[in-house]
Amino acid sequence: MTVAPGSRSAGPAKLADVAALAGVSVGTASKALNGGGRMRPETRQRVLDAVDALGFRPNQHAQSLHTGRSWTVGLMTTDGIGRFSTPVLLGAEDALGAGKISVLLCDTRGDAIREQHHLRNLMDRRVDGIIVTGRRTDPRPPLDGIEDVPVVYALSPSTDPADTSVVSDDRGGAVLAVEHLLAAGRTRIAHITGPEHHAAARDRARHAVGHLERASLGLSTGRVHHGEWSEAWGRRAADAVLSTAPDTDAFFCGNDQIARGVADALRERGVNVPGDIAVVGYDNWDTMALASRPPLTTIDMDLTEIGRIAALRLLEAIDADPAPGVHTVPCRLIVRESS
């Protein structure tokens, strides 16, 4: 569709210009842009073609008044450094951007007072919904004072089963890691992980041990080694494991930082990885996994997909079709040189 010279006044295109070019009334053009009203598909397409031809930009404020929606959602996170929240945000934006919805990012830094401050601001902005995420997989209390605004919890599930939560499948991830090592002929597997009071450490350890037991095996040291989520802990724990069980032939680690520390300790001992001992991490954090020597085989939680699914569940809730309960996103095994 082309615009004839002099067919409209100079300046930004108006809805009336769109209507005139499409050969419809202003009311019909408005309904076509808002997705409302019943009309023939070709009529709606003529309006959209006119929008492209004229470079028309709808007045978001006017649209909000007409539809009762702000076309914005809030994303609240406790993950100040963005290690976990950034991939979730990118996945959410992929889903929401297709619907021309903007995302307002709020960092609570794990502080309840700051969370309430951001929540009041989001309510004042009349957001259509909120996604809540964090840096841990531990369940968290639901938001308080949300005034019937739809909320979806991503990665960190709500403690209320009536809420909608989208989480990673830690059971599936642990099974993938252990099964990969078993398939490679490893039978003396050690497990080094983070603090026992973290749900991720407890859950991954429980499922790893359970899968080994189903294979009539146990951990090489007879227990799970809990510590910090750090490379330093990985180095110390690797030395402790090999002092206790020198015939260990594989390490399954609760995250990539620990796994990189383990790989460093093995290299310093002159142990060949993976020839003598295989190492598998968790998270698929490129900064750690790819910089490790050798690069780490690891479990990817698919945080971007968690964000995308959370956004889709939020859109359904905004349209009055909520899906309460916990929705699980599968993990993926990423095989590299360490196994």
| Residue 148 to residue 225: CA distance in whole angstroms | 44
Structure tokens at 179: 């099964």
- Rounded to two decimals, what is the model's pTM? 0.79
Structure tokens at 242: 């090999």
For 125-139, the pLDDT digits (tens) are 889 999 999 889 999
| Residue 134 to residue 282: CA distance in whole angstroms | 17
Structure tokens at 71: 């076309």
pLDDT at 69 over 80: no
Highest mean pLDDT among 29-33, 76-80, 293-297: 293-297
| Residue 278 to residue 269: CA distance in whole angstroms | 14
Report yes or no: 129 and 319 within 8 Å, Cβ to Cβ: no
Q: What are phi and psi of 107, to 5 degrees?
A: -100, 115
Strands 250-253 and 189-193 come out as parallel
Strands 250-253 and 278-280 come out as parallel
For 267-309, the pLDDT digits (tens) are 999 999 999 999 999 999 999 999 999 999 999 999 999 999 9
For residue 167, give the H/E element and its range.
strand 164-168
| CA 244 to chain centroid | 38
Confidence of residue 112 (pLDDT cuts 50, 70, 90): confident
pLDDT at 7 over 70: no
| CA 7 to chain centroid | 48
Q: Give the torsion through C-alpha atoms of 74, 79, 81, 87, to 10 deg.
A: -60
